[in-house]
């Protein structure tokens, strides 16, 4: 009986994999058409400094998907001792190469490297991550610009699930330059009424409960609970946190707890977002799962940005 009640109140899950696959199919078809008609393919150059395991996984995924969709890719793997000047020299050489359409410098960089200086050195026309100040400024003005891939993917997710943004109240919890701030800008462009919250926000729950669309991007496992969510709201979970202990898992996961505990026992951790899924299911109308939600959209949007960069640069 209790299990049946849990199922009846479970929020609808927004399938990030389905939307990511749709975007990738569209990119692959356009890439094939442009190669047939004009003899060109987009080229993405990925720069990695050091051998951080997480970064290596992300870079490997980007290179693999590029090949699957028909894009050309280059992997520039540099030693951890690489200096800011050496990295800047590589970026300048990639800027100068006409056949390179997109440049991505995998973050984080070693602490000794001036990250801001490196990102500002990338040609804005090849800045497919959307981190260059020129693209940040254009985005804030509502002009044509490369938007960071995760926020852009969330907009696609909402649109393709027919979630109305125009006139809706949206709340973004997190103010990072990678997700929080560009997310707010993109929601404004969809005519949502947007509030940004952060670690200094007073009475956070009273603010987030006003939101029809709640975006959680704060990097704290399960922080957003039932008290933060308006009944029926759409909750988008950007978090990607490692949960290693059974006690925390029991507090976060409901129907799939047994599976999560098995993963912890086998791998040492399971992934959790910034939203408590067990509590969110009691209140939210729709939510994104972790994994299987927003994360899959980021690489898909990187491919779309790289294709767009080629089309804009070559006036196709």
> Which residue numbers are catalytic?
62, 106, 129
Nearest to 152 by CA among 270, 44, 308: 308
Count other Cβ atoms within 10 Å, centred on residue 293: 27
Q: Which of 255, 214, 217, 216 is nearest to 231 (CA)?
A: 214
3-state secondary structure 65-117: HHHHHCCEEEEEEECCCCCHHHHHHHHHHHHHCCCCCEEEECCCCCCCCCHHH
Handedness of CA 76, 20, 131, 30 (dihedral sign): positive
Residues making up the chain, counted from first to last: 316
Neighbouring CB atoms inside 10 A of 245's CB total 9
Nearest to 197 by CA among 208, 186, 189: 208
- Tell me the residue ranges of DSSP E strands in 217-296: 234-237, 241-243, 270-272, 286-287
């Amino acid at each position: 009986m209790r299990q049946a009640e849990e199922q009846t109140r479970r929020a609808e899950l927004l399938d990030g994999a389905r939307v990511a696959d749709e975007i990738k199919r569209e990119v692959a078809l356009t890439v094939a058409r442009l190669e047939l008609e004009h003899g060109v393919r987009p080229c993405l150059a990925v720069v990695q400094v050091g051998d951080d395991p997480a970064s290596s996984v992300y870079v490997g995924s980007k290179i693999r998907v590029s090949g699957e969709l028909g894009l050309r890719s280059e992997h520039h793997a540099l030693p951890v001792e690489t200096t800011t000047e050496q990295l800047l020299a590589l970026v300048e050489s990639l800027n100068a190469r006409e056949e390179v359409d997109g440049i991505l410098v995998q973050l984080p960089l070693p602490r000794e490297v001036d990250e801001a200086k490196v990102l500002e050195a990338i040609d804005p026309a090849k800045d497919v991550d959307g981190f260059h100040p020129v693209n940040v400024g254009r985005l804030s003005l509502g002009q044509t610009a490369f938007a960071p891939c995760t926020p852009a993917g969330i907009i696609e997710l909402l649109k393709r699930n027919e979630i109305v943004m125009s006139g809706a109240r949206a709340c973004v919890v997190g103010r990072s330059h990678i997700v929080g701030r560009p997310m707010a800008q993109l929601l404004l462009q969809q005519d949502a009424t947007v509030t940004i919250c952060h670690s200094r926000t007073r009475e956070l729950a009273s603010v987030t409960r006003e939101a029809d669309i709640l975006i959680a991007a704060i990097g704290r496992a399960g922080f957003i609970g039932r008290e933060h969510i308006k009944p029926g709201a759409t909750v988008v979970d950007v978090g990607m946190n490692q949960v290693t202990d059974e006690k925390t898992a029991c507090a976060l996961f409901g129907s799939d707890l047994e599976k999560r505990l098995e993963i912890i026992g086998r791998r040492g951790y399971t992934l959790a977002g910034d939203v408590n899924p067990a509590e969110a299911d009691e209140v939210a109308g729709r939510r994104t799962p972790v994994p299987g939600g927003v994360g899959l959209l980021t690489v898909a949007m990187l491919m779309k940005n790289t294709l767009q960069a080629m089309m804009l640069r070559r006036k196709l």
